[in-house]
Amino acid sequence: MSDSLVQARGLRKWFGALEAVHGIDFDVQAGEVFGFLGPNGAGKSSTMRMIGCVSPRSAGELQVLGMDPDTDGPWIRSRLGVVPQQDNLDLELSVQDNLHVYGRYFGISRAAVRAKAVELLDFVQLTDRAADPVEQLSGGMKRRLTIARSLVNEPELMLLDEPTTGLDPQARHLLWDRLFQLKQQGVTLIITTHYMDEAEQLCDRLVVMDGGLIVAEGSPRELIARYATREVLELRLRPGARNGWDETLKDVADRVEELPDRLLLYASDGEAALAAAHQRGVQPVSSLIRRSTLEDVFLRLTGRSLVD
């Protein structure tokens, strides 16, 4: 317990009548990458803002780096690196001035912040854009600059709210690579995302949030084992084909899900399930056997309907 960097017990947040976080418990250990997964409105960002000491909690306990955000906010923030959901770079300043000015907010000396900026721009591959106005950067470059900015105070704990949303695959992979490097340097990372592949790639441990509550917790592998099967068989059906197959196929798989155009059979052996389905008269247009992913876990836990 003593080496957890963030500890929450019964943590709640409400805005007037709207309750965003309904009482959650979690621990983030030093050196791990901890993920918050969940659909929009699940309470991830509210939780991140409470950890970041910019949003006072409404009830419950919260300790960050062993301190209380309500009273020790400035000291906690001086050891945090924050990458918000939407880049809030200073558009009126150049790339390097963004780092200089931000470093000065942390009270870092001019000489030190200048040296640090050179190092960070190299780390995020923006050295040749140092003197450009931020405005001219692409989305991926801005994201990298935001990450560089969050590192200016050499944080022990980083909070990354949807770090790769809206980026192209190249930019995403570059960011993942940088986050791995940080983890190897011993930085603890807390990430929110709704990209399942990202969570599987990066997180040691994660919690799935839905409607302000934590609905599952564990490593990606554990969650898949607990909430999904080893494989998934997807059968694409002819449009307008009869429904009710889930009854017929009930005992072929651990769980059968019927979608308008597809049948999903969660089974440990996809080939065997396919053979059994054929035997019972299912004639799919096509079939696909794949490994279960966190996405299956996610959809199982939070449902398929849109949350807005």
Partner 1 sequence: MRALQELSRALGAPRAGLLMRVLPPALYVGRARMLVLRASRVSRNIWIMILSGVCEPLFFLVAMGQGLGGLVGAVVGPAGQQLSYAAFIAPGLLAASAMNGAVYDTTYSVFFKLKYAKLYDAVLATPLGPMDIALGEIIWALIRGGMYSAGFLMIMLVTGLISSPWAVLALPVALFVTFAFASVGMAATSFMRSWQDFGLVQLAVLPMFLFSDTFVPLSVYSPAAQWLTQASPLYHAVTLLRDLTTGAIGWSMLGHGAYLLVMTAAGILVASGRLKALLLH
Partner 2 sequence: MTAHGIAEPGSRALSGWQAMLRVVEGLWIWYRRNWRATAVSNVAQPLLYLAAFGVGFGGLIDASPHAAQATGGVPYLLYLAPALLTVSAVQNATFESTYPIFSAFRSQRTYWGITATPITPAQLVTGQLVGIALRLTVSATAYVLVIAPFGAIRGPGVLAALVFAVLCGMAFSAPLMALAAAWKKGRTPFAAISRFVVLPMVLFSGTFFPVSQLPRAVQALVRISPLWHGTELARGAALGTLRLWPAAGHLAYLTALLAVGVLLSRWRFRVRLTP
Give contact residues for partner 1 (rule: CB under 8 A). 15, 52, 54-56, 70-75, 77-78, 80, 82, 84, 86, 88-93, 97, 100-102, 104-107, 149-150, 153
DSSP code of residue 243:
-
- Let me know the angle formed at the C-alpha of 21 by 20 and 26, rounded to the nearest 5 degrees: 155
| CB count in 10 Å sphere of residue 21 | 25
127 binds, among partner 2, partner 1, none (CB under 5 to 8 A by kind): none
Task: Supply the angle between the helices 95-105 and 110-123 in degrees, to the nearest 10.
Answer: 130
- In the complex, least distance from residue 140 CB atom to partner 2, rounded to whole angstroms: 19
Cα→Cα distances 140→60, 124, 134, 287, Å = 37, 10, 12, 37
59, 91, 259, 275: residue in contact with partner 2 (rule CB under 8 A): 91
- In the complex, least distance from residue 217 CB atom to partner 2, rounded to whole angstroms: 41
Q: Residue 95: what are its φ and ψ, rounded to 5°?
A: -55, -50
- In the complex, least distance from residue 212 CB atom to partner 2, rounded to whole angstroms: 33
70 binds, among partner 1, partner 2, none (CB under 5 to 8 A by kind): partner 1
164 binds, among partner 1, partner 2, none (CB under 5 to 8 A by kind): none
Three-state SS at 18: strand
Using the rule CB under 8 A, is 133 a contact of partner 2? yes
Taking the C-alpha atoms of residue 52 and residue 100, their distance in angstroms, rounded to an integer, is 21
- In the complex, least distance from residue 136 CB atom to partner 2, rounded to whole angstroms: 9
Residues that bind partner 2 (CB under 8 A): 91, 133, 135
